Structure 1
Amino acid sequence: MCRNIKTLFNFDPPATEDEIQAASLQFVRKLSGFNKPSKENEAAFHRAVEEVAAVARNLLDELVTKAGPRNREVEMERARARSAKRFGAEDRT
């Protein structure tokens, strides 16, 4: 669906409000088709982002797992490796 939305569950440290807000914004952008809404749609767009963020926070707070928390650095390295395999090795450092 939305490749820019990252998994936020089961990380140590837990997802931040900024991460949840960014994922919510991406989700509403995808659903609405707007990167930036018109003035007429701005209030509804921002309200939707806030509501999605609240629901996402509730979901993350209620989910349970027996698996240990994931490490952000390890997951980022895995994502880089997948990207290099998919698009070709490119040094971005």
Structure 2
Amino acid sequence: MLSKTEAQSSGNVVQGEITVFGFGKSFLGPCLSPFNLKLQTYLRMTDIKYKPWFTTKMQSKGKIPYIEHNGKIVEDSSFIIQHLNFEYYKRPKRTFDPS
């Protein structure tokens, strides 16, 4: 099986696939990184399918999490959410409707 860097360098990018790079789970439960937790919660709330990839390697800005989407790397959870809102026109579902 190819490692992620080999797959990236060989051009085996699946169109529309989102890979979330972040820290793995801790022995206490889910990931302890609040930014990774924020991003994965957003993805679950908007029903955007993603594949988690656990890593400690950071990108150029020195931030985790980051995503690979359509061959493009997007860093920083706020920029990732902004990028995905633009790409998918999705907003989180409301569970409470006061009307």
Could you state the TM-score of these two structures normalised by the residue count of structure 1? 0.30
**Counting strand residues as a fraction of each chain, which structure ranks higher?**
2
Name the larger-Rg structure: 1
**Counting helix residues as a fraction of each chain, which structure ranks higher?**
1
